[in-house]
Every structure is written in structure tokens, then in C-alpha cells.
Amino acid sequence: MDESDSGRRWWQGAVLYQLYVRSWRDTDADGYGDLDGVIAGLDYLSWLGVDGIWLSPTMPSPDQDWGYDVSDYLGVHPELGTMADLDRLIAEAGARGLRVLLDLVPNHTSSAHPWFIDAASGRDARHRDYYVWADPAPGGGPPNNWLDATGHSAWAWHQPTGQYYLHLFLDSQPDLNWHQPAVHEEFREILRFWFDRGVAGFRIDVAHGLYKDAELRDDPPATGSGPMAGRFGQRPAFSQNRPETHGVYRDWRKIAEGYLPPRLLLGETWVGDLGRLAGYYGHDDELQLAFNFPFVFAPFAARQLSDVVGTTLARLPAGACPVWTASNHDVGRFASRWCGGDERKVRLALLVLATLPGTTVLYYGDEIGMTDVMVPPELRRDAMSRDRASWDGSRDRARTPMQWNASRNGGFTAAGVMPWLPLGDTAACNVADQRRDPDSVLGLCRSLLALRRAELGGGITPYEIVPAAEGHWAYRVGGLLVAANLTDQPAVVPCPAGEVLLSTAAGEVGAELAAERVLGPWQGIIARYPPP
Ligand code: GLC
């Protein structure tokens, strides 16, 4: 069926896989993963059963923030490969039915981008207004109280031209000025350039950023605490989440829908309020998918998770597709944050992620239960989080190389090569060993994705909560009943159900499920609903 006519989109009911290119597979023995390494792993991804991949930044960059500081939006980072490699990757992925999303960084550029180099050359420079420049405050010092991602002033003094420039992240990441129409035109061209090359869409970095308050008013103090409350005690009311940003996505959506199949805009929408998150979908005319950080940061507990899911579904406009993810390169891995490395919990978390309605995004290594790796300070590579307790440890902890096999370098790079970040415990957790064992976490994940594709793929399945005791979470999704025991005690499945299609405990598939069926601690099942 013609996707544009049916209203169905390939990502609805799909599973995306976030692939951190530098840590996936190194084919040229320089210690960094590369595009050829991604190609080498496509058969594995197709075996696993994902529908698409999101590649961490692939564009040229001085790597102060590992690609999130772009110096050329129309190129490929030479350390990762060439444009021909990326074209081949898209073609090889397509041959396996896998779509490829790139990471687009529109909030800021690298200070090494030619636009910024020109902008910094003088107040009359052609690209001066591409960035946010301001005079000192009346009494001297930065123009306002905004803070960057390290907790320092978001303003850097530029002596040669006598003004400050804004950087909400590192000072080598100057923020673009979206009040300037030429910036819009540049990004329209960037979108078309990549869409024309067959890229299936973009994950949009700092999607809630872009526009800044035109009057540069001070951000107010934060009212809550925790990662969703703001930054370093401030609520970013004027530095982020400005209403004009929605116009950018309405514009981009038209461009994305002009292609066949329509291209996907998946926003990194770092907002704590689910109503505000819903706003990024617009009236089905802005982002098609918006990451849900309240879900990411919810504790692994039945009531809190089911509350976030229920509220999200209630707030999202009709037809909008929710997105569920639990790990990424910033927030760490769920196998550590939610599960403390407990395999029962890892299995249960995967079962939940695979059965929620909408789109699920797995992070590389989630499928084998990879945990965070405590990287010693002298080996850390992320400048933004290196010294900051506020990141809950260095972000490097979730960026360590993929553990393909039990060898010292985990099959990530050749023996004897120093990987860019140290590996975790490859003997305890690796793809090769788990692939041989159908009862492994990887075996379970693959079965879950196959079940999802068969039962929940191709659309946004209706979801309905089933009343359950404290600590237990049960829901009906499509023709399935999911029952999850998020406690240390055995639990009774809260309603009658049919055949068990899958259980997180090995050897339990296919049994008829009696009304009084008992789940072990941290066990989950997927059964048919309604019962016969
Ligand atoms: C996003 C990215 C993060 C990066 C930041 C600045 O949050 O996920 O890794 O440091 O934007 O681009």
C-alpha cells in the first residue's frame, strides 16, 4: 500500500536501534568504530529484528562533543568513513529492510564551522547574525543568567569583536540564532540534501532548543529537583522551549512529507511536562516522534511507569505515536539504572519496552543486557561530563564498545589495538555467547521483537490498563495481555488469560495460563487476550 495514502507509517509499531558508531565495530584498527563496521553488523541487526537504525553523529566535527559539534552538515566525518561508505550503508541496510536515521544538530554548530569562523571575524560579517551575540549587561559581565551544560555561564566573551556569544553546551558549540531567516534556509537545504540521498529521517538533537527568548530574559529558579526540573537550579523558561520552535517543525514536516516514503523527524525533546511534550507533535503537523524523558527517568516501579505511560497516552493528540526508550548515550543504560545489573529485571524491562504501543528505541547493547562501565577518570573522553557529579557519572559509562565476543577487546577492534574507551566485562556479557543460547537475554530480546512485529507491528495498538495489586503492572495491548511483577515476591496474574506466548523465565512458553497463575519475582509474561 502507498504509505502516504494509508496514513500508516513504517515507524508505528517499529523498533529502532540507536547505534553509537564510534563504539560499534572498528574495521581499520584505529580504536574507533566506523561506517564499515556498521555495514559489517547489519546482518546481526536484521537477525535481531529491528526496523531501523539511528546513527550517532556522522558529520565532520572537531569532536569536542563527539560529533555534536558539527563543522560541515553536508559531509561525513573522515574518521568514520566517506560519503561513498554512507551511501553503501544506506543501500545495504535498505536491502535488509532496515531504514537509516542520521543525527541532526540544529541548536548549535562547532566553533570550527565556517559560519562561526566568519561570524567571529567582525560585527559586519555575513554570518554574524547566524549566532546569538550580545553586549555585556549594563553593570558588565554576561548578558543574563543562563547556564551551559557544565553549570557555568552560557556566554563566552569574544574579545576581538567585543561581544558575548551564547553556548548552551560547550563554549566550542555556539548556539545558532533561529530568529535569523537565513538559518532556516540553510537547514531546509541540509534536510533535502540528506533526504535526497535516501536517509529515512533524523533524530533531532536538542529539539526543544533552537529559539531563544528575543529579549534574553533571565531564566527563573527551578521549582523541583531531579533531571527533568531544569539545569543547575534554573528552569530554562527563556533559554529553551520557546513557542517559535514549533514553526520550525511545521516547516520541516512539510519537507519530510514531500518524500515517498515520508521522512521521519524524531525529536530529542527533553521536557518534563507530558502536555508540553505532546505539543511537539502539533496537530499532526510537527514531529512524528518525540522522545519521552519522564519515562526514561521514572523509577523501575509498576505505579510510576504505568502512570507515565497512561498520562502520555492521555496527553498525546489523536493519532500521535508515543516513543519508549530507556537507555542512551547521555542518560546511561537501563540495565544499570533500572536493574542494577539484575538479569531478571533486565528481561522484564525488555518485555515492557517491546510491548508498549508506538515506537520503541533500543540502545546498542540493551539486547544483551550491557551495563554501564565505570570508566576511570584518566580514560574518560567526554569533556562535558568529565568532572561533573550532575551527570550521575561520566557519560562515557554508556558509550563503551559493543561486546561482540568474550575476548579482551570484545571483537570490537583487533587484538592489541587500544579501544577509544575501555570495554566492560566481555566474558560475562557478549553477543557470541548469548547467540548460542536461546534462553539468553539476547535470545529473549529477539523473540520479543519477533512477537512484537507479528502482533503489534504496523500501527499504534490500543493499550488498556488492567487493575493489579501494588507493585504489579498489567495491560492489554492489541490482542495481548502483558503481566509484569515488579516486586521481589511471587504474584498472581491479575486476570484470566489465554496461552502464554512468552515468559521472561525460560521454558514457560505455550502453557495454558490458569486464572490463579503465579509469576515469580521480577517475572513477566505475554499471553493471548481474551482467554478462550
Ligand atoms: C544532546 C546530545 C548530547 C549532546 C548535546 C549537545 O543532548 O544527546 O550528547 O552533548 O545534545 O549537542
Distance from Cα 384 to the centre of ligand 1, integer Å: 9
d(CA 121, CA 108): 18
User: 116-141 burial, b for 16+ CB within 10 Å, e for fewer?
Assistant: beebbeeeebebbebbbbeeeeeeee
391 lines ligand 1 (CB under 6 A): no
Residue 515 has pLDDT above 50, yes or no: no
d(CA 358, CA 362): 13
Read off the pLDDT of each residue in 224-248 and give the average, rounded to a whole number: 93
206 lines ligand 1 (CB under 6 A): yes
User: What DSSP element (H or E) covers 500?
Assistant: strand 500-503
Where does the pLDDT of residue 285 fall: very low under 50, low under 70, confident under 90, or very high at 90 and above? very high
Read off the pLDDT of each residue in 387-407 and give the average, rounded to a whole number: 85
Read off the pLDDT of each residue in 356-375 and give the average, rounded to a whole number: 97
Q: What is the pLDDT of residues 341-355, one digit of tens each?
A: 999 999 999 999 999
Nearest atom within ligand 1 for CA of residue 69 = 12
Distance from Cα 474 to the centre of ligand 1, integer Å: 34
d(CA 194, CA 202): 9
d(CA 321, CA 339): 27
Q: At what angle do helices 181-196 and 245-257 cross, to 10 degrees?
A: 30
DSSP label at residue 234: B
Of all protein residues, the one whose alpha carbon is nearest to atom 7 of ligand 1 is 206
349 lines ligand 1 (CB under 6 A): no
Residue 2 has pLDDT above 50, yes or no: no
Tell me what the pLDDT averaged over the chain comes to.
Answer: 95
Identify which of 240, 226, 256 has the alpha carbon closest to the alpha carbon of residue 4. 256
φ, ψ dihedrals at 352, nearest 5° = -65, -50
Residue 390 has pLDDT above 70, yes or no: no
Nearest atom within ligand 1 for CA of residue 107 = 12
176 lines ligand 1 (CB under 6 A): no
- The neighbouring-strand residues paired with 207 are none
- Cβ(357)–Cβ(323) under 8 Å? no
293 lines ligand 1 (CB under 6 A): no
Read off the pLDDT of each residue in 1-13 and give the average, rounded to a whole number: 73
* Planar angle of CA 162, 168, 170, nearest 5 degrees: 80
Q: Give the catalytic positions in this structure.
A: 205, 268
- Give the model's pLDDT for residue 511: 57
DSSP track, 381-441: --TTTTT-GGGTS-GGGG-SPP--SSSTTTTTS-TT---SS----TTTS-HHHHHT-TTSH
**Could you identify the residue written with the cell 572537531?**
62
* Planar angle of CA 127, 130, 136, nearest 5 degrees: 100
- Cβ(476)–Cβ(33) under 8 Å? no
Nearest atom within ligand 1 for CA of residue 270 = 7
Cell readout for 266 is 524524531
Distance from Cα 134 to the centre of ligand 1, integer Å: 24
Residue with the bigger pLDDT between 193 and 393: it is 193
384 lines ligand 1 (CB under 6 A): yes
Distance from Cα 206 to the centre of ligand 1, integer Å: 7
Residue with the bigger pLDDT between 287 and 516: it is 287
d(CA 41, CA 19): 10
Identify which of 20, 15, 54, 61 has the alpha carbon closest to the alpha carbon of residue 37. 20
Nearest atom within ligand 1 for CA of residue 395 = 9
Read off the pLDDT of each residue in 77-85 and give the average, rounded to a whole number: 98
User: 16-37 burial, b for 16+ CB within 10 Å, e for fewer?
Assistant: bbbbbbbbbbbbeeebbbbbbb
169 lines ligand 1 (CB under 6 A): yes
Percentage of the chain with pLDDT > 90?
Answer: 89
Distance from Cα 329 to the centre of ligand 1, integer Å: 9
- Cβ(297)–Cβ(263) under 8 Å? no
